[in-house]
Structure 1
Amino acid sequence: MSYLIPFTEFGQYILFSLLAGHVVLLFVPENKRPSTFISKPVLLLCTLGIIVCTFAPILQAVLYYKNRIGLLSATVSVITSFQIGRAWIFLCLFSMFLWVTIYVNGSKFFRAQWLLLMIFAIGNAGHAASLAFWPGILAHTIHFLAMTIWVGVLLNVGWFSRDRDKWPDFLRWFSPLAMGCFIIIVISGFFLMFFVMKSGQYLNSWQVPYGRILLLKHISIIPVLAFAFINRFLSKNSTNLSNFNPRTWLRAESIILLIVFFCTGVLGNLSPPHEVSSGFSTAAKPTWIDWLLAKNILPFSKVELAPTVPSAILMLISLLFLSLILLSFKKTSVAFAIVFAFSFILTIYLGLMFSVTITI
């Protein structure tokens, strides 16, 4: 069951993003955006899909306790006594209100209201809320809201738009919106990170899987910014060309952002650094394979950056891949740019992993 949770969380993020992008575009005049269309059945299924995806962590907790107190008692206890269970009840309630509003073609203001309350319920069920209730809820809610708005508009316009008309008008309001969302994501992300690890312990967190996935999440944002630069600035002068389709580059940006979503989903299923110190292995000093897999790390060890020749070469190669993303605009297909983005993430991650040393 634990292996399924990251995928259900990933699905949850996509469904929330589709709904968030749909609602945001309802507030934008039609002459300021490309025409987009998501059918009502799809929107209704997104709403129901959120209920199913968010139930997966609750099911995991129920299965954990059922052998001790029985299936029925475990289900009632988790849903009524656990914070994640109570948040899920409210999420279901607001989801059904949103479902009805969409079904009857209700007001965009009601759609926004129910969606915001659903996102607030997600923040209430987050790990940060269990550590510091109101600060954790607000940080998680704001972080999640900004991310779903950014990705949601990209998904709706990139994958469900019917034309490329009004593209300059679209970029005129979306560029500052995306920049604002990014700034909010960074600030709220720092707050969330400091809930689960002490200040100055970022490098030491690489000793455990949580820290590695968090690093991958942060690394993945860099090529997103490269695609954002292409979509906001380089594509402006190309929209009038008959052979240029700006939607493909928005799709590329959304694909890399989905990597960030998947890493976030995996993080939700891993123990934060402050919970795993007692579980460190006391095995011999780890080999480089053990280090890459976050295994056999010495207890109370300290991570320091000590670049080597291989790590320096890998870092230079990663910068080459990053520059190739920008150079691929107008030179090659967008598929190559996506490959370069994946290559950048892999090489810079390996470069960082090969540039660390462990001291006790």
Structure 2
Amino acid sequence: MILVTTVIDTLLYICFAIVVGALLLHAIPNGYKPEIKMPKRLISFLALLIGILSFGPLLQLFVFFYGKRDFLTLVHTLILTTDSGRVWLITFLISIVLSLFLYFVPLDRVNSIIGLGVTFFLIILVSLSGHIASHSKTIGLLSQTLHFFLMAVWFGVLIVISFFSIKKENWKTFRSWFTPLSIIAIVIIAVSGLVMMKYTVPEYQSSWLLPYGEALLLKHLLYFVIILFGCINGFLLKKDMKLGWLRAEAIIIVIVLIITGFMTNSSPPYIVAETIEHGGISPLFEKFYQGAWVPEMSVALQGTSNSIPLFVLAVVLLIVQLITFITGRNPYLFLVLSLVLVLVIFLALLLSITPSL
């Protein structure tokens, strides 16, 4: 079931990003962006999908109770008598209105800004069903909303430019506002992410013993790769628009969204020792760790005979990446090397874990 809900949430994030990116670019004057050809009906359809896909948090409950209660009674109970159900219903109705609005009105600057405002409100509603909102209706919800919205802005513009631009003119003027916007987004996403970690994984390093913490570690490693691609696209290749490099960066972000979808549908380990006591350590770490891990143990990092060779391999991969960029500048080879590098560092860190009492 978690695989299904992970896919649903990943598609939801992508829909939000494309709608936000498309509307933001429609609000920007033509002289400040490459020419874009994107059907209005696609934007409208994705807006409607937002309402449908946001049912994800209720789906697990629906599947769990299906067959135990009458179908209509179950639908009525989940949607009309629970807070999450009522929030979803409002989200769905607003997404229908937004979809019709985007389909029938011309996407000029004013209408695009109105659409962005409505989409931002939908992001707030979706954030209400997240892990953070259940612990903090103020700082946590604000952090989640900013994190979500700025991801949509950054990734949305990137994916629309990467896959729907038909000409390369105005690249310099586009970069003049998108590069600083990306930097601001990256900083706020990072800060808001740290704030959210206070509520979800206060014991960050110890959480690597559990699936949620391992996913978060992998997400952070990939985040550094995204920053690397951003520097390449924003500064090193600033003379011309390289669609291959933009698309490679977009692929990395999609992978991060898949991991985020998994985390959204997993239980955060607020207290690692209690989580291990009830469910044990993660199957992945169990394969690497030779011995018994008791809840009273905490995580310490130490170079081992298994982890040190992997760290050396990571350095070699970094050198190969540098050579690849200087010589061939093949974005997809660079992408593959980046993913392998992340995996090697991820495994090296897990193999460096030693118990500390």
Of residues 264-273 and 304-313 in structure 1, the stretch that sits farther from structure 2 once superposed is: 304-313
Partner of 2:169: 165
Letter of the 1:225 partner, please give it: I
Contact 2:201 2:213 in 1 (8 A): no
Q: Supply the AA of the counterpart residue of 1:189.
A: G
Q: Give me the identity figure in percent.
A: 29
Write out aligned runs for 1:189-338 (5 A): 189-198=193-202, 201-237=203-239, 239=240, 246-274=242-270, 277-280=273-276, 290-292=286-288, 297-329=293-325, 331-332=327-328, 333-338=330-335
Where does the alignment leave 5 or more consecutive residues of structure 2 unmatched? none
CA shift for structure 1 position 292: 4.7
Give 2:181's aligned residue: 177
Partner secondary structure for residue 129 of structure 1: coil
In structure 2, what is the equivalent of residue 354 of structure 1? Answer: 351
- Can you give the 5+ residue segments of structure 1 that lack an aligned partner in the other structure? 240-244
Contact 2:207 2:214 in 1 (8 A): yes
Aligned partners of 2:208, 2:333: CA distance in 1, in Å? 30
Contact 1:51–1:91 (Cα < 8 Å) also in 2:
yes
Question: RCO higher in 1 or 2 (8 Å CA, sep ≥ 6)?
Answer: 2
Residue 291 of structure 1: how far off its partner (Å): 4.9
AA partner of residue 26 (structure 1): H
Q: Distance in 2 between matches of 1:247 and 1:347?
A: 28
Using a 3 Å threshold, how does the CA distance of structure 1 residues 284 and 260 change in structure 2: closer, same or farther?
closer
- Tell me the residue number matched to 1:119: 123
- Stretch deviating more after TM superposition (43-52 or 337-346): 43-52
Check 1:285–1:265 CA distance in 2 against 1; reply closer, same or farther (3 A cut): closer
TM-score (norm 1): 0.90
Counterparts in 2 of 1:355 and 1:7: CA distance versus 1, 3 Å: same
Instruction: Measure the CA separation in 1 of the matches of 2:279 and 2:116.
Output: 53
Asked if the contact 1:223/1:341 (under 8 Å) is kept, the reply is yes
Distance 1:292 1:145, change over 3 A: farther
1:99 Cα deviation after fit: 0.6
Which residue is equivalent to 1:74?
74
1:336-347 matches, within 5 Å, as 336-347=333-344
Q: Would the alpha carbon gap of residues 285 and 80 (structure 1) be closer, same or farther in structure 2, given more than 3 Å must change? A: closer
Pair 1:136-2:132 in alignment: no
Q: Does the C-alpha gap of structure 1 residues 342 and 100 become closer, same or farther in structure 2, counting only changes over 3 Å?
A: same
CA distance in 1, matches of 2:284, 2:196: 30
Give the SS at the match of 1:127.
coil
1:314 Cα shift? 1.5
Provide the C-alpha distance between the structure 2 equivalents of 1:295 and 1:80, rounded to a whole number of angstroms. Answer: 49
How far apart are 1:192 and its partner, in Å? 1.0
2:98 counterpart residue number: 98
Q: Is the 8 A contact 1:206 1:212 kept in 2?
A: yes
Query: Structure 1: which amino acid aligns with 2:307?
Result: S
CA distance in 2, matches of 1:281, 1:49: 40
Between the two proteins, the alignment pairs up a number of residues equal to 352
CA gap of 1:31–1:351, structure 2 versus 1, over 3 A, is same
Structure 1 residues 44 and 292: alpha-carbon distance in aligned structure 2, compared to 1, 3 A threshold: farther
Query: Aligned-pair distance for 1:315?
Result: 2.1
SS of 1:357's equivalent in the other structure is: strand
**Does the Cα contact within 8 Å between 1:252 and 1:338 map onto a contact in 2?**
yes
TM-score by length of 2: 0.91
